Amino acid sequence: MSIRLSDGTSQDLRVRVQGAPVDSYPALPPEVARGTVRRITVVGEAILYRRCREVTEFGTPVLARLIDDMFATNAVAEGAAIAANQVDVDLQLFVWDITDDWGVRHVGHIANPVLDELPAAQRVLAEESEGCLSVPGPYRLVARPDRAVVRGRDMDGNPLVIEGRGYFARCLQHETDHLHGRTYLDRLARRERKAALREMEDTKDSVFARRAARAAELGK
């Protein structure tokens, strides 16, 4: 299925799995059923502030299980994506399950991601609201390029290139930031960062309660 956009181009609305369109896909990724929910690290924990190690062993049951667990944890938290250090694992890996601004759902994982440096002529900044599973509660406006290309490997070590626009581009940049030891709070002015942390303290208990309820709903 495709739709005609206002600029005259068409948009394929099929779900993209690892960047490739598929004709059908379940409401929850299959990894969610296989995975175990892990604790999500919270801002202030050391693992969120250092660059993660590269994935060097591909095609292993350990890596497959980690990806399953990350999808399950992301589903319970109702997130768009989650990085390995957000489940307390020091590896350059993140997964996503997100619907972009045009209604296209993107699902996948990537190891050792590197963002392309976009030419200045192609860098259009968009200031949009952004949150984080490791900063439970607050959202703040963050400026990021509205297009992103990330290159890395899949779980079997095959080369992978993922391109995103709009909200999906923001997601790819946000998660790559995590693997370099940064959260969206690091992109805020000091006063705004302190305000977000105060808000987090006020709201985190209700966020944790929603996650627990969602886990029970999913049988996790």
Listing DSSP states for 133-153 in one string gives TTEEEEEEEEEEESEEEEEEE
Render pLDDT for 141-168 as a digit per residue (tens, 0 to 9).
999 999 999 999 999 999 999 999 999 9
pLDDT of 72 higher than 50:
yes
Q: Are 82 and 69 in contact (CB under 8 A)?
A: no
Average pLDDT, integer, range 177-187 = 98
Residue pair 70/87 in contact by the 8 Å Cβ criterion? yes
Q: Are the CB atoms for 134 and 83 separated by under 8 Å?
A: no
Token pair belonging to 128: 């949009």
Length of the chain measured in residues: 220
Whether pLDDT at 5 is above 60 = no
Catalytic, out of 175, 199, 201, 217: 175
175 is catalytic: yes
Residue 1 has pLDDT above 70, yes or no: no
Q: Is the pTM of this model over 0.75?
A: yes
Provide the mean pLDDT of the chain: 95
